[in-house]
Amino acid sequence: METAVLVDQPGTFVVVSTLGVFTAAFYSKGSPNALGIFKKIITFPPFLMFVLACLMNIFDYNLNENFQLVLLKIGSLVTPLALLSVGLQLTFDRKSQHWKFLRLGLFFKLLLVPFIIFVLYVFVFNQHSEVIKITLMETAMAPMITGAILASTYGLKPKLSSMMIGFGIPISFVTLAFWYFILSFI
């Protein structure tokens, strides 16, 4: 579990909070400028809280237990609210132009990239450790809700991003079982 948290928080989350915000701001409507994009990155609330948490960890600062309990209760609402907000945007329009991009994106995210990581680490580098298995499972996870919210916020195909989450999560149950089965043999 510790390895998964280390891969997810400082790795994936920092990339989404920095490069993700940069990419979204750069390709969103309006004229991108370096200062404006930098300001959007450093004022992105999840990134600010991540930096604050890192500083608190470095300086070994602990919050009051009652305050921690309140934050824990509030934090437990984040995932359901994020799923609800993305789910409310999800529509099943059979004539949508996004279906081929959805298939391509989910194929890339759930099958192709994990396959490349699997071949690279298991066959090319001959690695078989728990860290490699965790890395592969993290790679094969459904698309990030934070990424979908970011894309929607910046007007970057919000319908497609909500479809990626809405279809990606249930489909990933099957593909993760597949990858878990494959990894049980190495």
**Alpha helix (H) ranges present in the chain?**
2-6, 14-15, 21-27, 34-42, 45-58, 65-75, 78-89, 99-107, 113-118, 130-139, 145-153, 158-183
pLDDT of residue 5: 58
C-alpha distances (whole Å) from 81 to each of 3, 20, 57, 155, 166 are 26, 21, 27, 20, 14
- Average pLDDT value over all residues in the chain: 84
In terms of pTM, does the model score above 0.75? Answer: no
Q: Which long-range contacts (CB under 8 A, 24 or more apart) does 77-82 make?
A: 79/145, 82/145, 82/146, 82/149
Question: Structure tokens of 132?
Answer: 């490699």
- Res. 111 pLDDT band, cuts 50 70 90: very high
Please give the single-letter amino acid code of residue 11: G
